Every structure is written in C-alpha cells, then in structure tokens.
C-alpha cells in the first residue's frame, strides 16, 4: 500500500515506543552493561546495543549474551541472565530516556487535529507504563499495548488489528509510525499505512530500505502528510 499521493486520509495513529517516541538506548545499554558485569561477560558498547534493540528484552538479552543478532545462547545462561537484566533495567528504566526532538510537538499537533492515538510496543508492560509516565507521554494515548498485552506482538499484525477494533476503524484508516522492520512488516500484514523515522533502532540499517509509505524526520513532520478522514 504505497501511498504516492499525500496527504493520506486516516482516523487514528499508532506510534512505536523505543526509537520512535523515546530514545531509550542509554538506559537499555546501562542495564546490559550491568548484567554483563554481574555475569562476568565482556563489556559492550552503546552503539552495539542500539543495533540489538527492537525485538523485546528477551531477544536483546540473547544478543548481548551471544553478540549475534539471531543466535541462541545456552539455555541455562539465558534463564539466569534474563531476570538479572530485568532487575537492572527496572532500576534505570527512565534515568536517561527522553522523547526525541519533535515528539511532544507532534503528539500535541496530532491530538489538536482530532487524530486518535495509540502506543504499541514490544516492551513489557512493567517497563512501558513507567517509561511513558516518567517522560510525560502517557496521557496522550487512548490505547497502550505492550509486548505482553496480547498473545502475539509485532511483526505480527494482531496488535494493529486490535487497535482497529478498539478505534472502530478499518486498517486503511490507521497509520503506524515506527522505526524498524518490525513496524513495517506488522503494518503491511494488517493493511495499514506506515511511516518510519530515520533516527531509531533498525538493527543498524537505513529505514529507506523498508517497504513503507514515507520516511519522516520527526513526528511533527508527519503531520504535513496526513489528513483526518
């Protein structure tokens, strides 16, 4: 569904969390560094951690343990590491995480134009809610879906389908704004429009490579490409 004509007509907007709304990499990396130290693993750089973000905490921990994108660590080591990571991440979840430039103005503009807003992330609810509240973004959203809210998460289309049902709209009336392959795959599978920001965590690759309707430099810039239907 490549939209060659703008503005596209939509009723609701779903926005990803990590790498789209919030720069969470410093806190994710700090937790990873603390976990690595506690487990006597080699240290790991922030730039490397950024390429590991986007598929939930479990996959992030596996990548830190193996230093590979898709490898499976020793099961016993992973079982030991996951609660260690979650302990450290809970301690620093919003210590340095902040909205990216244009996020707050973008959310304000979208609300003022009458768009209904949801946040859909693969992050667990126990981290999602404190992050959104601590950074002042929680009240912008009518619907917040975390990685453990439904039986399946992005790139599965289920969260977007759930959002359509919640808002009472068809998929063609929904726009997803994200930063990664997970987001574009979910949107295409659901039949939704999709924009990506270029500053997020797409495993170190350019979002220009993805199947999307537009690359927008900020949430605020996205407003110029949409119209309330």
We report the CATH number of the domain holding residue 109 as 3.40.50.1000
Summarize pLDDT for 146-205 with one digit per residue, the tens: 999 999 999 999 999 999 999 999 999 999 999 999 999 999 999 999 999 999 998 888
Domain match, 58 and 134 both = no
Domain match, 15 and 44 both = no
134 catalytic residue (yes or no): no
In a domain, 1, yes or no: no
Closest CA to 120 of 150, 157, 149, 146: 146
Summarize pLDDT for 17-43 with one digit per residue, the tens: 999 999 999 999 999 999 999 999 998
Domain match, 144 and 220 both = yes
Question: In this structure, what CATH number is given to the domain that contains residue 79?
Answer: 1.10.150
In the predicted model, what is the mean pLDDT of residues 1-19?
Answer: 86
| DSSP letter (8 states) at residue 178 | E
Measured in residues, the chain has a length of 229
Range of the domain at 32: 25-92
Please, which pLDDT band fits residue 4 given cuts at 50, 70 and 90?
A: low
Domain match, 202 and 134 both = yes
Catalytic residue among 16, 27, 173, 183: 16
Assess whether pLDDT exceeds 80 at residue 2: no
C-alpha 22/C-alpha 13 separation (Å) is: 16
**Is the CB of residue 162 less than 8 Å from the CB of residue 145?**
yes
Determine the pLDDT at residue 74.
97
Determine the pLDDT at residue 54.
76
C-alpha 147/C-alpha 169 separation (Å) is: 22
Determine the pLDDT at residue 46.
85
Q: Exposed, middle or buried: residue 202 (CB in 10 Å: 0-12, 13-18, 19+)? A: buried
Domain match, 146 and 204 both = yes
End residue of a domain, out of 51, 66, 92: 92
Model-level pTM? 0.94
Average pLDDT, rounded, for the chain: 95
In a domain, 164, yes or no: yes
C-alpha 161/C-alpha 165 separation (Å) is: 6
Please, which pLDDT band fits residue 1 given cuts at 50, 70 and 90?
A: very low
Assess whether pLDDT exceeds 80 at residue 84: yes
């Amino acid at each position: 569904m490549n939209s060659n004509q703008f503005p596209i007509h939509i009723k609701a907007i779903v926005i990803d969390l990590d790498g789209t709304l919030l720069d969470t990499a410093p806190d994710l990396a700090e937790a990873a560094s603390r976990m690595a130290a506690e487990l006597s693993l080699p240290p790991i750089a922030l730039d490397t951690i950024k390429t590991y973000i986007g598929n939930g905490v479990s996959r992030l921990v596996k990548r830190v343990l193996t230093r590979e994108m898709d490898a499976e660590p020793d099961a016993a080591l992973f079982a030991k590491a996951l609660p260690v990571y979650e302990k450290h991440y809970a301690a620093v979840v919003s210590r340095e995480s902040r909205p990216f430039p244009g996020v707050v103005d973008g959310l304000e503009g979208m609300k003022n134009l009458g768009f209904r807003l949801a946040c859909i992330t693969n992050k667990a609810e126990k981290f999602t809610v404190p992050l959104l509240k601590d950074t002042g973004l929680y009240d912008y959203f009518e619907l917040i879906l975390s990685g453990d809210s439904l039986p399946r998460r992005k790139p599965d289309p289920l969260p977007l389908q759930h959002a359509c049902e919640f808002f009472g709209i068809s998929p063609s009336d929904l726009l997803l704004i994200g930063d990664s392959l997970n987001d574009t795959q979910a949107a295409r599978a659901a039949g939704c429009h999709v924009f990506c920001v270029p500053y997020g965590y797409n495993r170190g690759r350019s979002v220009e490579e993805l199947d999307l309707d537009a690359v927008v430099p900020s949430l605020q810039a996205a407003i110029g490409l949409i119209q309330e239907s």
